[in-house]
Structure 1
């Protein structure tokens, strides 16, 4: 009997030690560099934010967070690339709502399901678009703009980065909710669209606040309204379009996702580290200067945000008739 008790005690110790080791392994994430895939080109708002957060996550968690840009097909190529990696937390998608919430309806086959293929980690920021006009445009403010367009249906055009792009759909939503008739002119990217508005070949464009604020501040563009439901602190005198058009709201949010099946412990570690990063004063200062509203969505809140935007943008995409095969 004493011998049996010794064996039993040894087995218990082995089991306890084994569980402790497993727990330590789970808690140790990350133990090697983490790959951050940005499915858009370098230099854009998403890329800027991803690099800022990644640098800070490396300091928080003690491993490099390496940003890799995989642009193409409106973000679909980089998003698909994440799904080919193991669901272990070492490959993370740093993306925007136009890819996750618009592409599933816009593209006949985007190559991913934003809900079934991904685990939400955190939403970090909301980027307003600004309805900008050339300084020669007759309307000086939002009220005048709405009245001018209603008095002159089909006369005025707006530029966009292409059919189905966010700045196209923001214009389509404006038409729908305010019963306006603007003419859409698609370009191959936001840069040529912006260039033609600056050159007064086209009178207006929806542009992200970070990409347009310098031209607004220098007087090269006039800001008519912001696309979010409330005014932005970076442009306190510019009204939200929803102040004149009830229900109008559309932002570009930035969020982190992991492949479906990534362990909850890893998701929790990434979320908590991201929250710690967002509380750092220099990060908040950088967001403020870019005109980005900081978000603090946990995985459940991000999942709800995505569900709401999938429903909203699906209707707008279908009403616009835009589709990419």
Structure 2
């Protein structure tokens, strides 16, 4: 009898140890392996630089490599779809943007993901200063004068864009609608040729990221009229907003961190705190400011609200005007 009891107690002890080990495994601290941070655009751009700064600091603080993986194509949809389909365990993350999540779903048929529903917003990362510039031949030195010129020459002021449905196209369409002007759209296959032809005078007006336009402004090859954000950019405090002349006008280009839908709340909070800490570091701010990018922070809930707002706003604008992406 004693032998039987001893075997039973030994079996219970062994079961308890196995159960405890299993419990410890389930509660292992995150992360236990490398993390992939997908950038849905080619290497070398401002988004890629932002992602690499983020990955460098996350690697230090999390104790595991955070590897940037560029997956360009289909206006950011290829890389974004990979994250949407990934396990929600925190090991596959995305640096997404207003265009990938708020604009593409309205622009493109047969999207491989839903911009809002298929992702977990982790936190806002940065804003890119979006500028309104003209060729120096245009007789306008501010937004008010540009509106007057456009109204006096309906359909003749040509603006360049990176293609139908691009951020600079939406910026111009919104301006036309709110300022009550009619302009001529000249779409290009990408942002670089749009800048080149505006500098050359083939087109007269361009809405584009300061990273692309400001070098030409400093060389007096383009004239800077305004920025498109709701408030003046800390990077260009003396440059007015379009909204100072056209009340209510705003187009803010943001980048943010996402994971797949269904991530555990505790993991979301952990990653959000790390992201906010990194985006607040003085050296990170300085490095990003140097390329025209303003770092930002938010809670996951605040970032989700921005995403919903922009998806509703720009989605409606795109559908109402019948704009189709390429």
Query: TM-score, structure 2 length as denominator?
Result: 0.91
Q: Which residue of 2 aligns with 1:73?
A: 74
Mapped to 2, the partners of 1:15 and 1:85 lie a distance apart of 29
Q: Which residue of 1 aligns with 2:121?
A: 120
Q: Which residue of 2 aligns with 1:150?
A: 151
2:225 is the counterpart of 1:224: yes
Q: Where in structure 2 are the equivalents of 1:28-177 lying within 5 Å?
A: 29-177=30-178
Question: How many residues end up aligned between the 2 structures?
Answer: 321
The residue matched to 1:147 in structure 2 has which SS? Answer: helix
The residue matched to 2:296 in structure 1 has which SS? Answer: strand
Q: Tell me the CA shift for residue 32 of structure 1.
A: 1.6
2:189 is the counterpart of 1:188: yes
The more displaced of 259-268 and 62-71 is 259-268
Q: Tell me the CA shift for residue 13 of structure 1.
A: 7.9
2:286 is the counterpart of 1:285: yes
The more displaced of 287-296 and 42-51 is 287-296
- Contact map agreement 1:157 1:185 (CA 8 A) in 2: yes
Q: Tell me the CA shift for residue 12 of structure 1.
A: 7.5
- Contact map agreement 1:142 1:239 (CA 8 A) in 2: no
Q: Tell me the CA shift for residue 211 of structure 1.
A: 2.1
Q: Could you tell me which runs of 5 or more consecutive residues in structure 2 were left unpaired when the two chains were aligned.
A: none
Mapped to 2, the partners of 1:20 and 1:64 lie a distance apart of 23
- Contact map agreement 1:83 1:117 (CA 8 A) in 2: yes
Q: Which residue of 2 aligns with 1:272?
A: 273
- Contact map agreement 1:39 1:79 (CA 8 A) in 2: yes
Q: Tell me the CA shift for residue 201 of structure 1.
A: 0.9
Q: Deviations over 1:151-173 (max 9, x none)?
A: 22111010000000010010000
Q: Which residue of 1 aligns with 2:26?
A: 22
Mapped to 1, the partners of 2:88 and 2:228 lie a distance apart of 35
Q: Tell me the CA shift for residue 17 of structure 1.
A: 6.4
Q: Could you tell me which runs of 5 or more consecutive residues in structure 1 were left unpaired when the two chains were aligned.
A: none
The residue matched to 1:123 in structure 2 has which SS? Answer: strand
Q: Tell me the CA shift for residue 218 of structure 1.
A: 2.2
- Contact map agreement 2:235 2:292 (CA 8 A) in 1: yes
Mapped to 1, the partners of 2:179 and 2:76 lie a distance apart of 30
The residue matched to 1:116 in structure 2 has which SS? Answer: coil
The residue matched to 1:297 in structure 2 has which SS? Answer: coil
2:213 is the counterpart of 1:209: no
- Contact map agreement 1:122 1:274 (CA 8 A) in 2: yes
- Contact map agreement 1:169 1:320 (CA 8 A) in 2: no
The residue matched to 1:87 in structure 2 has which SS? Answer: coil
Query: TM-score, structure 1 length as denominator?
Result: 0.92
- Contact map agreement 2:280 2:295 (CA 8 A) in 1: no
Mapped to 1, the partners of 2:139 and 2:215 lie a distance apart of 22
